[in-house]
Amino acid sequence: MIETLRATYRSGLTRPLDWRRKQLNQLDLLLTEHEQELLDALASDLGKSAAEGWLTELGYLHSDIKHTLKHLKKWSAPRRVSQPLMAWPGKSCLYPEPLGVVLIIGAWNYPLQLLLSPLVAALAAGNCVVLKPSELSPKTADLLAKLIPEYLDQQAVWIQTGGAEVAQQLLSERFDHIMYTGGGRVGRIVMKAAAEYLTPVTLELGGKSPAVVLADADLKVAAKRIAWGKWLNAGQTCIAPDYILVADEVHDQFVEQLKATITEFYSSSPQDTEDYGRIVSAGHWQRLVEYLKDGTIAIGGDYDEQERFIAPTVLTDVDLESAVMTEEIFGPILPIVKITDLQQAIDFICDRDKPLALYGFSKDKAKLNQLTQATHAGNQCNNDTLMFMLNPELPFGGVGPSGMGRYHGQFGFDTFSHLKSVMSRPFWSDPNFRYPPYTSFKQKL
């Protein structure tokens, strides 16, 4: 299979922009013609509501494809740069060329978006692609395995379902780039395997993303935006706020606002609303239920093993050394920690791994700037959560343990391209001052 893709790549099939446009349009058509089946698969895998499935997966992909098609000509054109006097006359440019055959390994929490958005970028850049969806969202993976060969050029795109063994088998092959989305444990396995062939990698990982709520924040709006970012997809979002650092003087008020918001969003019985998802697997459900003992349950705390349900839950008085405060939660449990001031929040964040996302809530721009300047994070969003994902002009990616590399918009196109530097010079001017013999006159030049 990989040899076929390699031969396709060598044949030049994927180079013309018309071929790339056709693949992107076909992918768009797949999403349109099978919208209901895809939404049903997401509901089956994650209890995802149709509205959430549209907003965070299908709708997101449609706009990603539209944006890419709109800019493809410009992104793929040679990018002229200036020419130094010493090399004059001549021209220099960056020439985006595809990388070849690339491997994309997806995660289960947004099983369409996290597999297909990298695919959009890789196809736009003119590559052949092997897709490996996560086995933890099997309905979506199986549906994609059926549809992708029907819509996309089978000589250039291959989808392989299966679990860790299949991923490892794929990783033992040589690729020209690997993009992996998932946890850091497997991220290390991917990077080790890639080292064998010196294959470049993009690792979209996770971690504990903090939200800082200062005393001057609009607590009602902050609670709504944090609740939306946290309990979307039942908390199984890599950039969901993992924990809150809240100014102690507004702590109780903020918890009250969260309580009112949760009831407004999901009613007083979240298990019965269509808008609230389920935990992906029994193993993850078990892991999450264990966290409930690491603090005082201020809101929620109900669970149901059969349905893999855990209510939107807020923990206060958490033990900072406990699992809920040291491991990535990746579920609907939100611990809240009191801080005395911004500096304490900054120290708390800097004492831990660089997060994928950081959220600051305050009316004071100077304080938000201080938060930006004094901390590291893959992405920061002030007075909101998750919304930066909607801007294709902003690259998405982690830093340090939360990942390496970036994508979205042109950053995705560039990730799957090599920007070859090309300098071209005419024959007509050839002064000999740089050629030997290096006479004393030349050395003075």
Chain residues binding ligand NAD by CB under 6 A are 105-109, 114, 132, 134-136, 163-164, 167-168, 181-183, 186, 189, 204-206, 238, 328, 330, 356, 398, 403
Nearest approach, Cβ of residue 284 and ligand NAD (Å): 7
At its nearest, how many Å lie between ligand NAD and the CB of residue 430? Answer: 52
Nearest to 230 by CA among 350, 297, 311: 311
Q: CA angle at residue 144 from 142 to 150, to 5 degrees? A: 120
Q: Report the distance separating Cα 66 and Cα 36, nearest Å.
A: 21
Q: Computed over its alpha carbons, how large is the radius of gyration of the chain? A: 25
Which of 38, 61, 47 has the alpha carbon at shortest distance from 113?
A: 61
Alpha carbons 274 and 256: distance in angstroms, whole number? 24
Token representation of residue 169: 């088998």
Nearer to ligand NAD, 105 or 234 (CB): 105
Decide if 128 is catalytic.
no
* Collapsed DSSP state (helix, strand, coil) of residue 111: coil
Smallest separation, CB 268 to ligand NAD (Å) = 30
Which of 238, 274, 328, 381 is labelled catalytic? 238
Select 330 or 413, whichever has its Cβ closest to ligand NAD.
Answer: 330
Q: Which is nearer to ligand NAD, 132 or 354 (CB)?
A: 132
From the list 52, 57, 128, 204, the catalytic residue is 204
Residue nearest to ligand NAD (CB): 206
3-state secondary structure 390-444: HCCCCCECCCHHHEECCECHHHHHHHCEEEEEEEECCCCCCCHHHCCCCCHHHHH
d(CA 387, CA 67) in angstroms, rounded, equals 17
Active site residue 328: no
Nearer to ligand NAD among residue 24 and residue 205 (C-beta): 205
Residue 209 CB, shortest distance to ligand NAD, in Å, is 9
DSSP 393: T
Nearer to ligand NAD by Cβ, of 193 and 217: the residue is 193
Q: Give the nearest distance from C-beta 397 to ligand NAD in angstroms.
A: 7
Question: Any idea which residues carry the catalytic annotation?
Answer: 204, 238
